[in-house]
Each structure stands twice: as C-alpha cells, then as structure tokens.
Structure 1
Amino acid sequence: MDRARKQELQSENLEEVFLPLRDAPYLDYFLSCKIYVAFEDGILAGLIGFRPGSLNFIYVDPTHQNKGIATELIKKALVELERPVRLEVFTNNERAKALYRKFGFERANTITEKWSDEFPVVFSQDTMELR
C-alpha cells in the first residue's frame, strides 16, 4: 500500500478495514470490472475500473499525480459507458469530487454510517451521477 493511500485510510480511520488485493474477499468484484491501465515511461501509473452504469474505482500512483492521468482514464471509460453513470467517493475527498464535477458529475446522495466493530468509525460517502 502506498503512503498516500495509507494516509487517506488513516484520515478516515479505515486503515485496518482494508486488505491487500490478493487477500481481499472482493477480488472477484474487482476482476468483474473492465479495467484500463495507464503507463508512463513503462511504469504502471494508474488504473480505472468500470461496469455498465458505474465507475467503480480509479487510482493514480502519487508519483504520477497532477499529470492528467486520471482525466484521461475517466475520458476513456466514459466513452464506453451509457448514461446515467454513478460513482462513490469519500465525502471529504474534495479533490476527487472536483475532478468528477469537471466531467459533469453531480452529487446525488450522501450516506453516513457508523460502523461499530473492533474499529468504530463514522463512514461517509457521496454518490455522484452523470446524466
């Protein structure tokens, strides 16, 4: 796990909730998405996964951020997706939400949950939609 993602998870008190992909119970879900990858100088810089009607995940390595990689990945995915398209994003991730708004996504819903297991946290995410 890279430092930026670890910091993001720590800021949401979710670091202990996530597992390495190879151990993840959601591996089948991940692999059920169509995935595009971006390389820079032969190095994997980012990836996006989507399914009909939704952008499911996007990740750009911190050393490759601010170079337009996320923008290009989203553009490529949106060419293939029929509207409406939905995505979910942490409520406090303003940087990501600003990027999505540039494509016309608007907040459709906010869900806030209190998880009360070994690591009690308040989890809040926005659903954004492009019509």
Structure 2
Amino acid sequence: MAGAKHAGNGGLRMTITVRPYESRDWDDIRRIHDAARLDELRGAGLLEAYLDLEATYENEGLFDDDVWVAELDGRVAGFLAGSPGEITWAYVDPALYRRGVGRALVQHVLDRATGPVELEVLDGNAARAFYEAVGFEWEATTTGKLAGNEAFPATGHTLVWRPATKD
C-alpha cells in the first residue's frame, strides 16, 4: 500500500491513501468515472458524446497498464491508470473535487517516474489548470476523433511533466 497523505479541509484532517486497483473497486470506479466524465465532456462541449465506463473500458484499454485507486478516509474517491511514462485515465469523484485526491494520484505516478510523463486533456477541461499547477507543460494541440467515442471530433492538449534535472 502506498503512503498516506493528509489534506486539510477547513481544519479537518483527511487521509488519502493510494493503492493498486482490486476487482472489488469496480463499482466505485465506474460510479466515479461516469459522474466525472460528464464534467470533462461538458467543459469540452461534447456532452452528446458521453458513454459510460462499462461501454468504453475494454476498447480504451483501462486495464492495459497499472490502475491506482485513491481512498479518502477509507472511501474510494478516485482512480488513475497509466504506464511509467503516460497517464491514460484520471478521474475523481465530483463530490470530492479540490480535496487533494487528484494531486495524490498524480504525485503517486510522478514519484515513480524515471523520465517524462505525458497525458492528454480535452480542450475546455478544467483539469488542464490542475495539471499545469503540478508541473505539466503544454507540448502540443491536436484535433482528431474522441477517444472512447470516435464518432465525435475533439481537440486535445498533450501535456508533459519532466523530472527535475540534477546539476
């Protein structure tokens, strides 16, 4: 199990723990994805492209790489999937936004990175500001088919985090 992090919330201490995904987490990550994906698509003006996790996880390869789950005070609050050099999925329960859950998940990956880490964020997605705040930088903007629902065109931004160089 990964180390616990503490986040403040108006004087309350909350414990965030990041651990590997287990099959018992499926219902929680499905609920989290389905709610947060609506926010993601709303910001990009693509609500009509919404598909739930059940409809997309296989084609989009959710379990092709590592999947990590964040628990906030023992409750599944978010998840992230990816490889050492790429974050492919990252979702936080909308009821728990701005409580350190996303930061704990991303930091978990960055702490293990041996080189650059890349991700894509839809144009209009508020998560871009979060990623830039934790050190990701814009690399490129592309327009193509929306991952998970290729019937829709979408614009995405590639962001890259690079480890600090040692002098």
Cα RMSD of the aligned pairs, angstroms, is 2.6
TM-score, structure 1 normalization: 0.79
Q: 1:80 to 1:64 in 2, by over 3 A?
A: same
39-48 or 81-90, which moves further after superposition? 39-48
> Partner letter of residue 113 of structure 1?
G
Q: Distance in 2 between matches of 1:129 and 1:82?
A: 13
Q: Distance in 2 between matches of 1:13 and 1:90?
A: 10
Q: Distance in 2 between matches of 1:5 and 1:28?
A: 14
Q: Deviations over 1:88-107 (max 9, x none)?
A: 001212x3122212232111
Deviation, structure 1 residue 46? 0.5
**Alignment of structure 1 residues 18-97 onto 2, 5 Å:** 18-24=50-56, 26=58, 29-93=61-125, 95-97=126-128
**Residue correspondences, number:** 126
Deviation, structure 1 residue 63? 0.8
In the alignment, structure 1 residue 105 sits paired with structure 2 residue 136 = yes
Q: Deviations over 1:47-87 (max 9, x none)?
A: 11111310111110011111111111111111122211110
Contact 1:21 1:27 in 2 (8 A): no
> Partner letter of residue 83 of structure 1?
G
Contact 2:117 2:160 in 1 (8 A): yes
Q: Unpaired segments of 5 or more residues in structure 1?
A: none
TM-score, structure 2 normalization: 0.64
> Partner letter of residue 102 of structure 1?
A
Q: Distance in 2 between matches of 1:44 and 1:105?
A: 25
Alignment-derived partner of residue 5 in structure 1: 37
Contact 1:13 1:121 in 2 (8 A): no
Q: Unpaired segments of 5 or more residues in structure 2?
A: 1-33, 163-167
Deviation, structure 1 residue 6? 2.1
Deviation, structure 1 residue 114? 7.0
Contact 2:139 2:159 in 1 (8 A): yes
106-115 or 46-55, which moves further after superposition? 106-115
